[in-house]
Amino acid sequence: MFQSIKNTFIDLFDQEPLLVYSPGRINLIGEHTDYNGGFVLPAAIDKKMVVAIAENGTNKGRIYSVDFEDEFSFDLESFSPKKGHWATYVMGVVSQLQQAGYDVKGFDMVFGGDIPVGAGLSSSAALECAVGYALSELLGFGISKKSLVHYAQKAEHTFAGVQCGIMDQFASVMGKKDHAIRLDCRTLDFDYFPIDLGKYKILLIDTQVKHSLADSAYNKRRLECEEGVNAARKIQADVQDLRDVSLDLLDQLNLNEIVYRRCRFVVEENQRVLDSCEFLSKGDLDGFGKKVYQSHDGLSKLYEVSCEELDFLVDFTRKVPEVLGSRMMGGGFGGCTINIVHEDYIAQLQKGVSEAYEEKFNKLPKFFVVSPEDGTGLL
């Protein structure tokens, strides 16, 4: 893939490029905790976005997408978001760097990757991080990794119009091989925890669905969580987020049943992240796997962001001893499940899941085995 992107660049622009990569990410546990000031446990993975770049001596950004087989050009002194177009992610990063005072010179760029689009592995965040890092390296900006994370996140907010949390970009840039990152989404303090899975692998199963509920439900969940926080502040004034609410305090609040369930999930999920880190530190994969299943049960029953397809995939694994844990990953209503599976059983599990899933939903899921890798860097 790297060589192919480099060759495409040379064919198009007739010069040698700088090559940069930024990975997609998984989240082992800690869903919907990010916007509640809590903890998440993501890891960068061995699926990457690759950017080839060189200066072109003009005032234009000239970009070619290998995956879309499409080119795009824009004037660095006058450009704006192009809704729904892949170039928006590139322009968003350029805009953030310019606003931060960096003198972005004209460049030629080719990019492509092997991160499955639409599976919830953050291909857009990986592209933003790769573009920011590539421009910084090419033009000698020396941008720190943490600043790069913020620029990439702001690009998503202002140009792509998606009010994402910080986790995707953070994991993409700060990933470390064979480790997960426990990230405090309030302070951005973080610690690495080893992922020594031994004979087990991380298998993602993509439902191949995305239900239209996702965006409106996400906004609704945020409001329901805020309702819980506002009620908690009346009893405990220093509460900033649900992260500060204990189950004891939650039980004292006069909340309606739905808001109570939403808040209970977040409070319990936060604790599951902390517990999972302890299990991983001790190499207790069985203990970690149980937390993963508990996370899915909470997402499905308390937070209600699962769907029939995700529940089906998780329930299929519960009777399989070679699977230690399984849960939906991401915002919900489609996308992937993440599964901790014994390496000798992966082929058999894929066969069994495919047959059962096709019979039930008349479509086949997709499978990806992934491993934790280093974050954004030079090739």
Q: pLDDT of 232-259, one tens digit each?
A: 999 999 999 999 999 999 999 999 999 9
Which one is catalytic: 103, 114, 168, 189? 168
168 is catalytic: yes
- Whether 206 and 107 share a structural domain: no
**Residue numbers of the domain that contains 316:** 200-370
Mean pLDDT, residues 354-365: 97
Residue 371 annotated as part of some ligand binding site: no
Residue 121 annotated as part of some ligand binding site: yes
Is pLDDT above 80 for 165? no
Distances (CA, A) of 148 to 130, 188, 209, 337, 340: 9, 13, 32, 29, 31
- Whether 186 and 308 share a structural domain: no
Which segments within the chain are labelled E, that is strand? 18-27, 39-40, 42-55, 60-65, 70-75, 107-113, 179-184, 190-194, 200-210, 323-329, 334-342, 366-370, 377-378
Distance, in Å, from the CA atom of 12 to the CA atom of 9, rounded to the nearest integer, reads 5
Residue 65 annotated as part of some ligand binding site: yes
- Whether 241 and 145 share a structural domain: no
Residue-wise pLDDT tens digits, 77-110: 999 999 889 999 999 999 999 999 999 999 999 9
Position 378 in a domain: no
Task: Tell me the CATH number at 53.
Answer: 3.30.230.10
Residue 120 annotated as part of some ligand binding site: yes
Torsion sign across C-alpha atoms 190, 192, 193, 195: positive
- Whether 26 and 166 share a structural domain: yes
- Specify whether the CB–CB gap between 341 and 200 falls below 8 A: yes
- Whether 138 and 79 share a structural domain: yes
Residue-wise pLDDT tens digits, 274-322: 999 999 999 999 999 999 999 999 999 999 999 999 999 999 999 999 9
Distance, in Å, from the CA atom of 273 to the CA atom of 265, rounded to the nearest integer, reads 12
CA-CA-CA-CA dihedral for 274, 154, 87, 215, to nearest 10: 60
Residue-wise pLDDT tens digits, 110-162: 999 998 877 778 888 999 999 999 999 999 999 999 999 999 999 988 887 77
Torsion sign across C-alpha atoms 66, 72, 76, 80: negative
Residue 32 annotated as part of some ligand binding site: yes
Residue 331 annotated as part of some ligand binding site: no
Position 306 in a domain: yes
Give residue 210's pLDDT.
Answer: 83
Domains identified in the chain, total number: 2
Position 376 in a domain: no
Task: Tell me the CATH number at 310.
Answer: 3.30.70.890
